[in-house]
Structure 1
Amino acid sequence: MKILKTAPKLILLFIATLIASCTYEPVDGTVEPDPNSGGNGESGIFKADFNGSTWTAKETEAIISGNFIQIAAINAKGESFGIMLDGSTVGTYAANVNLVSYSPAGTEFGYLAINDNNPDENTGSVIITSINTANKTISGTFQFKGYWSDVPNTKTPITFTNGVFKDIRKPYYYKYYWS
C-alpha cells in the first residue's frame, strides 16, 4: 500500500522534470528543427477546462515508444499536464489505471487521476483519436477527476473537462521516439 502512495508522486516528479527540461533554445538563433524527425517546431494544441477557466499550453510534446504513450504540456506560468498511457494505439484508456496529472507551478505535488482511498474509482479517461505516424502527431481528448497527491495535506478534488490535444508532435531534437 505504501508503494501505491509513493509511485504516483515519483511518476509525477518524473513527468514534471521531463517537461521542464525539454525547452529548446538555440545558441545563435539560427538552428532549425531536424526535418527528418517529424517536427517542424510547431507545438500543437493542448487545452482543458477547470476552476471556471480554460487552461492552454504554451509547449507540448508526445512520445510513443514500445507500448506506451507520453504526452506533456506546459503553460507560460509553469503549470503542466502529464499523460502516460500503457498502450500505443488509438483507443480509450482509463485514467485511474494510467498516469494522468496536472501540476500547479512551484510545487512537486499535483492532481492525479487516482483516488488513494478508492483506487478502483472511475476517475475519467483519455481517448486517443489519431496517431499520424507520417507526420509524427497524436490527437485526442481527456477528462478526469484529480486528487491532490500530497496525501497528508489533502485538497478538494478538481474536475478537468473538455480536455483536448491536437497534433502534438514528438520532440524534434530526439530522433528515436515514435518507434
Structure 2
Amino acid sequence: MSTIVVLSGSPSAVSRTAALSAHLAERLRLGGHEVRTVHVRDLPAEALLSADTGHPRIAEVVGLVGEADGVLVASPVYKAAYSGLLKTLLDLLPQFAFAGKVVLPIVTGGSPAHVLAIDYALRPVLTSLGADHVVPGWFVLDRHITIRGDEAGLDPDHAAPLYRVVDAFAAAVAARRPLLAAS
C-alpha cells in the first residue's frame, strides 16, 4: 500500500482548500492508499516561525513526508502565489525532502487569473525540494467548492477533470512504489 501525505496550506479555520484537501484525501483512501493529512495551520506557530525543526510536531511532519511515497500539496492563492504559511513549512523540510516522491500541486483561488501560481510559484519550490516527478497540478475556482460541515462538495461539471488528475497522481504513486523498493 502506498502512503500519501496531504499538506493543506490554508491559514483559515474554515477553508475551501482544507475542505477540498479532505475530500481528495478520502478519494485517495478509497483508492487503497494510506493517507495522512497535515493542516499546516494546526502546527505550532512559534516553531514554524522560529524554524524549530527539533519541535516534536515539526519533526513528526518531516518524518511523515520522509516516509511518504507521494505528497499532495494544497494551497489557496494569495498575492499570485501559494500561502506564506505553506512556504514556512516547506522551508523547514530537508533540502531533498521530496526526492523519490510523486508530488501533486492543487491550488484554489477566486479568479482564473491565478492559475499560473501553480507553475510559476509552487512548482519551482517543489522541484527545489528534490521532487523529480511533479505531476500536472490543478487549479480549482473557489466558486466550484462548497463547504458542508468538514466536507467539500464540488461542482459536478468541474469535479471530473480534477478527479482524473488526482487518479493519475494516485496511479503514478502506486507505480513508483515497486521501483523504489527494488532500488
Higher strand share: 1
TM-score (norm 2): 0.27
Higher helix share: 2
